[in-house]
Every structure is written in C-alpha cells, then in structure tokens.
Chains A and B, each alone.
Chain A
C-alpha cells in the first residue's frame, strides 16, 4: 500500500476536446517518440515487423460510434492516457511505493527502480491507462512529460507535454486544473468539461470537452432565410436580373 498525498500544490492535467479530435493519432506517436528516448526505460515493441506487433504506448486513441435517437450515426475519437486522478487507485494499490503522486503538481509517476512489475496498478486502474513494458518488465504510464514541462533545456513555449505540442487540431490543452483562473479551468467551465467515469470515485484531473451537438442544420431550416424563388424559369430570371441590375 502506498499513500496518496493529502494535498497537491497544483493539479496539472490535460483537457481533451472531443469536438475537434479528428483521430489522427499524432499525440500517440509523439508520445511514443518522446518517451522512448526520455523518462525511464524506452517504450519497447515486440514483434514490430511480424504477425502480432505489440508495443508499449502511454496514450492511445479509440473510436466509438454513437447512434442518436434521431439522425445519422456519429463517430467520436477518444484519446486516452493516465488521468492523474486525485484518488488514484493505482497508487494506493502499489506494494512497493513505486507508484506515487507528486505533491508539487499532482502528476502520477512510477519510480521504475522500485517497480517490481507486479501489474497490480494496471489492474486497479479503471481506465486501462497503464502498460507493462514487456522488454523492461516495469510499468509505464503517462508522465505528463514531467521531463519536458520544467525542462530548462527547452524553450519556454515547448515546456508542455509532447502530445499537446504536436496536436494538429489543437484538441489537447495542458495546465493547472486546480487553479480556477487557469486557461484550462476556464475552458472546462465554458465547454462543460467532464470527468471520465466519475462513478469510479477516482476524481480524475484530466477533463474531456464533449462534442457539440451535430446534424442540427435541418432543425434550423425554418429559421434560415427562405430561399424564395425570384423566378421559375430563365425568362423570369432574366426579368429579375434586369430589374436588379437597374437598381445598381
């Protein structure tokens, strides 16, 4: 058993906009690239050119179809990584103290030198956000790019998680969700940001912005300017044209 801190100074996390995520996987691969070279063991790939390629990823994009009661089916892209929960069950379940939540910013990390690869944390995480690296035998998870966000070797504008920096659609936002005045907190307020599976009681820090309602154009049809015909045939049209051009 490992204890969570009673309080964290900040609640750093991601706000992911499901209204604009086009499902391109840019975040997935940028994350893979950064975290293969940086924090801890590289993210390995087994059978990378074979029948069942299987690698470690800290962030994956899933796609779900939804059939509303009325109108066409919809498709939502859903990127998922560690949500850095305030009540992180992956931490409290850890038998060695390897999993921990940082006091200063709330980031949930794995201290790989203490990780025995027992997998309890992955089992405890209701989001499936942890992956055991098959080559290294240690648990890997999103670090919120802890080695980027404070990194003095990076330009200040680059001190954000790799997935946020790379997202072409601007669907990923990073900041302090513990500060109600932060840009991310305000975005969450404005757009009705939501917790993922709140019933699990994990109090995730990451938030998701829901897709806006879709396929509403036909519903506003009657309110739109009516396309009243000015003519029914070319002859009438030319008469209208003459009249219209006269006025100019």
Chain B
C-alpha cells in the first residue's frame, strides 16, 4: 500500500508582494508568510520585470533576511579604525553625533562633506538630500560600474541598455550581446534568450569567456579584452563599404545629414551649422535648400554639401565615410588585435545585414513622425544588441559603447520592430538632462543637481581658479563627461588632499575597503592613515549598511540599515524605474516583516538627519521634520507640482503620472502587487524619439513637460567642443598636459584607441572578473544557500597558459600586475580566450566580515583581483596622478588589467592574507533547519 500523503498542504497564511533587492534587477516577489515569518519567496507572475520567474538570488532572499551578518544597532567606534572595536549606541546618540559633525560643515564649508551612496536605488532621493545639504560631493557608484555604457547611450541616442531599453524580444531574430554584467538585466535577459531560442532565433555572444549567456549562444566570439570597439568599427567599415546600411533611417532620424563646418581655420571647425534659433541645418532633398532638421516635410540629404561664407559644410555622413572606410578598420587590419579571424568579422557583419535587411518585415501600424509625415506601417529590422560592463569598464569604453550604438543605428535597428527599444522615461536626449552643478554657498543648498550631461567646457565643474570643484574631479578636463561621478577616486583624492581635503566621508552600501575599490590594501591604509597631528587624514567616516561588510570596520559611526523585506523603497520614474518598452512602471518595497533589531531604513534616517540639520526640503519653518520617514516622503514629496516619486494612483487614486499626493498611495501599490504599470499606446510603441503619439503620451503622464523629438547623435558635437578647447579655442582652456589626450580621445565620431599601456611591459595576459549569476557583489557570501554554490573562486586559465606554466588543476600561481601580486589556486578552462584569465567577482572575503567563520573558504582560498588594480596609472615621471579611468567619463578601467602568471608552491592560504577584523555580530549557527510551519 502506498502511503497517503497530503497533496494540498497549506502553502502560507498570507502572500505579501514586494520588490526583490537581491541584485539590481528589481523583480516582483511573492513573499509567503506563516505566523508572521517568511517561509518561501517566488516570482510575481503579474510583475512587468520578471513575470513570475525568479533567479537563485531572489529565491535565497529568505537566507538574507535571517543572515547572522545583519547589523543590530548603531555602532560607535571605540578602537582604532579597522579594528572592528565598536560599542552599540542608541539611535538618538547616533543621530546627535552625526548632526554634531555635519552641522558645522554645512554652516562653513559644505564641500567638506563627501556623500557617496554605492549601490543605491534611491538616487533621486539621496541626491536631493545632498543638494539641500549644499555639498557638490555626491554621486552613486556609476563611475566604477557602467557610466560608459549609460553616458555613451544617452549622448548618442538618448538611452542605453538595461534600464534604458531592451531588445524587442517578440520580434528579434538575431540577438548579439557583448560582455555582460549579469544583474543588468538579470531575469529579463534570461527570459528573452529563452523566448527567442524557443522560436529559433539566434544568439551571438562576444565575450572572452564562454560561460552563462555565452555558453548558450549559437556563436561565440572569444574576443581579446578591450578590442570590442575595434571589432565593431571593422564591421561598420565592412557594412558601409558594401552599402549595407539603412540610408533612409540615417537621413530621417540621425544627425548623419547635419552639416558640419569643414574649415580648419574657422573657430567653428567641426561644429554644426545652425540657424538663428540654434537648430541644426540640413539640405532638403526636395528643395535643395538649407533647412532646419525638424522642418515639416523636410527630407534631409545625406550627400549634399553647402558652401557659405567661403566655408564648405559637409554632412556628418561624409565624415563617417572618410573615417570608417579607411583601411585601418578593414577586417584584415584588426583581426590579430581582436583575436577574431577577418573572415569571421565579415561573416558576422554579413549576417547582421542579412537579418536586418533581408528579413525585414512590416507591422501594420500607422504612425506620424515629428515632421508631420504619416507612415502607414512600421518597418521591422529584427536585429538587436545588448551590452554592459564587459565593454564599458575599459579606458576606451565610452567610445566602444558609442561605436556599438552607431552600429545599431547604421543598421536602422533602434526603436523599430525587432530591434532595440527604449523604456520610459527614455528616450531622453542628453540635452534634456540637467547639467552638473557645483556652486557652493555655506548654509544653503547647492545651485542645482550634482550630476548631468555637459555640452561643452562651459559646463565643467571647475572653480573660478580652474581647479576641480568636486572631490572626485568629475566634470574636469581629466574626464569631462563623468555623468555618474567617480566614486572610486573619492577616498584616494580625499587622502591625497587633491583637489582639497574633506572633513566627513559619508557612504552607503559601498564596500570600499574591499571589493568595491581598486587597490584594496592602499585604500585600507588611506582610511586608517594619520597625519603628523595624530588625527586621521580622513577625519570622520559615517557608513550605512545592513550587513557586517568589510567597510563597517573603517567607520567611526555605523548607521545600520534594514534588509530589503523590512523597509520602504520606491523604484521611481524620477530615478531608475522598472519600465518595459511597452509600459511605464514603478514599484515599491514595503516592510513585509518588521526588523527584530534596532535598525532603521537608511532613507528614513536621512529624513531625520535632514530635519535635524534644518535642510530645506526636510525641515519645516518651525524646525519640525517635513517627513516622518521615507514612506511619508515617497507619498508626499513633489519634485514638480503633481509629479512625485511614484507615478501610480495619484490624486483620487485614478491618476497616472500627474496628480496630487494621495495619502492612500502606498496601500494602492501594495494591493496592486507592489508596482504600478501604465501601457504605451500601440501607435506609440516604436520610433519613440520621433513619434508624435509617444511624445504626447510622455507629456501626458509627466515624463516630460513638452514634446522633445531629437536626432540620434552619431556625431556628438559636445565632444568636438572639448577638442576645440584643446586646440586652443575658447576661454576655458585645459591644462597643457591634457591637450593631446583630449584631442586624441574625444573624437565626435566613435573611434578605437589603445588604452594607456604605461607599465604593462612584461605583463602580457588579460585578467578579468565576472559576476556569478547566483551572487550579487559581496552580498552573496553571507547567504547560507548561495555560498554553497560559489564558496571560493579559482583563477581560470586557458589551456595554453596552463601548459606554458606547467600548471595542473589545483596548483597555485603567483599573479603579478604592474601594481601588485596575488597567489591563488588555478583551474583550467578551455572555452576561454587564450590570452585571458578570469575569476568570479567579490567571492573573496576578509576574515571576520559577513559573520563567516575565519576559516571560511571565501577568506582562505577566495581572493580579489582588486589587489592587482590601482586607481592610478603607474607614475609617468611627470609628478601627476593619472587616474586608471576612461579619459572621457572617468569610468574605472577594471578590465584593462594586465598580468603575468608563474607557478608557485602552495601557500597556507591565498595571498595577500589580511588580519582578521573583529566581527560586531559574531558568527552564524553551526546548523540550519529553516522550517517555520509544522
């Protein structure tokens, strides 16, 4: 007899629907509860991001909210920095300490506060706080993550990948992806690949390492790191030479026909010909006359030149032909450097063109463009692309990302059926974003938003004496278009007093003394260094984190945050929303469980701190707090009249986008599954930058206040303005030592340049990290389930390097870079570029952190490549500090690392080994049996 079993057990008492935060993907989750405790987490089927699925991280959230690494109460440092000696204090004392430090700074020198917020999903809020404090020194982590991708996309076409847009998964037939960071965008990319493969569409993966998405790609291109731009420009060469480009698209929707001053003697050389209203001019093919690009009915001419005032003006398209038809970009000329056979470059280019043009299709949807022309159908070009950190974290990453966007544009695949589609609030051109602001007034707010998109030298964040206004030197001649700041330079610059000294370093969710910094040992030394007076060189450090990360030990004051299931958050359209190409959407987190510790959501703490400091926007005239907590802010803050952090259920609860604050808004979100979604009308679904129906819809829901159609900027004129300054024109001039670099790198058309190889002689091997799909930065290792998947990280070597160095699996190797040395275990991998080694990112842990036992494999065999990478390039003998960053955006060039490898005798543990830090939370239990129900 078979046993009788209960086939319908009770699953839960209640399901609470909120938003995941196990990585940056922001999926909807159903949190199953029994007796007030979390028993199971699954994906929310109704959610626009994940549609029910959930990754390993998301399902392991239950082990994150019970993690022994959770901080328990505010901490005040009582031992030396780095010792981990703390005492627990009350929130009142913690906030008094913070106020006592910050109030005098604000009154006298607001710039002495550097506030950087790491993996922050509330940047529109934290930046608002910093702006009202008055410091220019604010940014999140984009500078060491993917600013090249974001900025290149916005400058080129008004958006990039991930949060900005996505492939048209329903129609694409060929999907090509370049070096990806898996959490951008985690589940949607997996879902998309599964979906297109199920219907026979194909995937091409370009990555030195064949894992994950590249493992399932139909074709894998194991490119040499840092040469993606060269590969892309070679495909552009081939496609232009064969005439396999979308001339109609280029003429209508891009600045390819815009006329450029061609006289080297003119001060306007390389700048656009504009009319008195500042509009770019083209030649109208119908009339042959000079006409503003957006004139009703104009048919811009890609070929015609224009002579005026003795100066020949040529369309951008002419310059593209001059540049890209040059034999330097021929497949044969680039093949060796890229590690891709010339015939393969041609085959891939040919296939892109074949699918884009020979498999073109029409959607039977009428639409009207911004010039008033109505089109009966929408033409599909079913080729789509995706890329992320792999191509952006190089010092040539900005131009590489630009090149990829130009490739998409030449094929006519952006914002068309089957191609790449923007997600609201994008498309949004660079000119519709703020410019950076840096004017400091003691006791008053900054003069505007910190971060933005410069249009020329006049927008740089420089003081009157020409020195950098910001501690991270963002928006300076070193890196003029640093749209996300340079978080990786803050500690280094603050320690060096370059450009000036600060008083308080305030950070949130950024493990800067470990895996989030280059030169980890050096950063630890900077954080603990004392001056001649015996005081710390960086006088005060406030840090907020939910967990006992490596950074906690280096703070003087620790503000313990909640876990993601214990807090309010908003994933806002003002910030980095969760929209899909067919819908605007935003979401909340809400406390599905209450903290069992004396911890508070960081954003609520900022509301309190802002009130105590009397910050405009946070304190009322009578000194009382404007917002009781972050939830109060989310509901009641208005950025512009009727526009708040959340777009859904405004006013009487029926209004979307615009409307008065609705006191019941959060309850409406909770009842709706934690999110709000409003769909883009069918006629507005494609051609969004130029589609009248989309523009009107965007105004209607408050994404913008007036229609803002624009041309894709194949030629980025602001870059030319910086070059022009470097050539000696204009009032604001770069320092002489940067002139040549600016001229060489800031080409207004995408180019490829070799990254700075100073010091790399003798280091022939590329070294990379990848993030495992089941881990998010350093956060995963505290998770009892996830660390069983990735508990240590060998260095993977290609077969060639294993043989050359007489290495076998399990042997140890000394890995040396121009900056440092590590000794680590190795493992052979064949599906790998033959001159590249790699490891999983952020698995290595410091003993004592994350509530792990000191002998945890993460701390004994795990390791970081960060020890090999410096935030500065090796000294060039000129006495200058050259940042290891993209010279255009300042993006940290993590993936420019070059190393040498040598077999060595196995040490006791991975080297360098660090002293343990004292854990403020102890270590975890010896056994887990996490069952709540009977």
Contact = CB atoms under 8 A, between A and B. Distances in A.
B241 A237 contact: yes
B785 interface: yes
B215 A77 contact: yes
A194 interface: no
Interface string B674-689: 0000000000000000
B241 A72 contact: no
Given A50-B853, A147-B9, A227-B238, A29 B786 contact: yes
A218 B343 contact: yes
B240 interface: yes
A214 B220 contact: yes
Contacts of B215: 22-23, 63, 74-77
Given A48-B924, A244-B247, A72 B222 contact: yes
Contacts of A216: 218-219
Contacts of A77: 215
B54 interface: yes
Interface residues of B, number: 111
B243 interface: yes
Contacts of A113: 3
A165 interface: yes
B195 A170 contact: yes
B368 interface: no
B190 A168 contact: yes
Contacts of B50: 168
Contact of B42 (A28, A45, A165, A171): A165
A147 B787 CA distance: 28
Nearest to A224: B350
B172 to A, nearest CB: 16
Given A46-B926, A75-B210, A29 B931 contact: no
Contacts of A152: 8
Contacts of A170: 191, 194-195, 198
A237 B325 contact: yes
Interface stretch (B55-63, B131-139, B382-390): B55-63
Nearest to A233: B325
A60 to B, nearest CB: 9
A90 B343 CA distance: 53
A144 B148 CA distance: 45
Contact of A154 (B11, B787, B855): B11
A72 B41 CA distance: 39
Given A51-B856, A147-B7, A154-B11, A168 B54 contact: yes
A36 interface: yes
A37 interface: yes
Contact of B216 (A19, A47, A168): A19
Contacts of B851: 49
Contacts of B346: 221, 227
A135 B929 contact: yes
B344 A231 contact: no
Interface string B772-801: 011000000010111111010000000000
Contact of B784 (A48, A240, A244): A48
A191 to B, nearest CB: 10
A245 B358 contact: no
Contacts of A92: none
Interface centre among A49, A152, A229 (most CB of B within 10 A): A49
Contacts of B56: 24-26, 28-30
A168 B191 contact: yes
Given A49-B784, A227-B346, A215 B220 contact: yes
Given A20-B216, A34-B40, A225-B358, A217 B928 contact: no
Contacts of B857: 51-52
A57 B785 CA distance: 10
Interface string B76-89: 00000000000000
Given A50-B855, A55-B788, A218-B344, A37 B240 contact: no
B464 interface: no
Interface in A25-74: 25-26, 28-30, 32-34, 36-39, 41-42, 44-55, 57, 63, 65, 67, 72-74
Nearest to B190: A168
B835 interface: no
B301 interface: yes
A157 interface: yes
B931 A42 contact: yes
Contacts of A226: 350
A153 B60 contact: no
A118 interface: no
A169 B190 contact: yes
Contacts of A55: 784-785, 788, 928
A228 interface: yes
A166 B8 contact: no
B277 interface: no
Given A22-B193, A227-B349, A49 B11 contact: no
A26 B54 contact: yes
Given A20-B198, A33-B59, A228-B242, A217 B204 contact: yes
A150 B325 contact: no
B347 interface: yes
B521 interface: no
20 contacts: A23-B773, A29-B60, A33-B59, A45-B929, A48-B925, A48-B927, A53-B788, A65-B829, A166-B53, A167-B194, A168-B55, A169-B193, A214-B219, A224-B351, A225-B353, A230-B242, A234-B318, A234-B325, A240-B243, A242-B303
Interface of A: 19-26, 28-30, 32-34, 36-39, 41-42, 44-55, 57, 63, 65, 67, 72-77, 100, 102-103, 109, 111, 113-114, 135-136, 146-147, 150-154, 157, 162, 165-171, 211-212, 214-218, 220-221, 224-234, 237-238, 240-242, 244-245, 248
Q: Which 3 A-B pairs have the closest CB atoms?
A: A49-B924, A168-B190, A48-B784
Interface of B: 2-3, 5-11, 39-43, 45, 50, 52-60, 62, 68, 186-187, 190-191, 193-195, 197-198, 204, 210-220, 222, 238-244, 247-248, 285, 301-303, 317-318, 321-322, 325, 341, 343-344, 346-351, 353-354, 358, 773-774, 782, 784-789, 791, 829-832, 851-853, 855-857, 860, 923-933
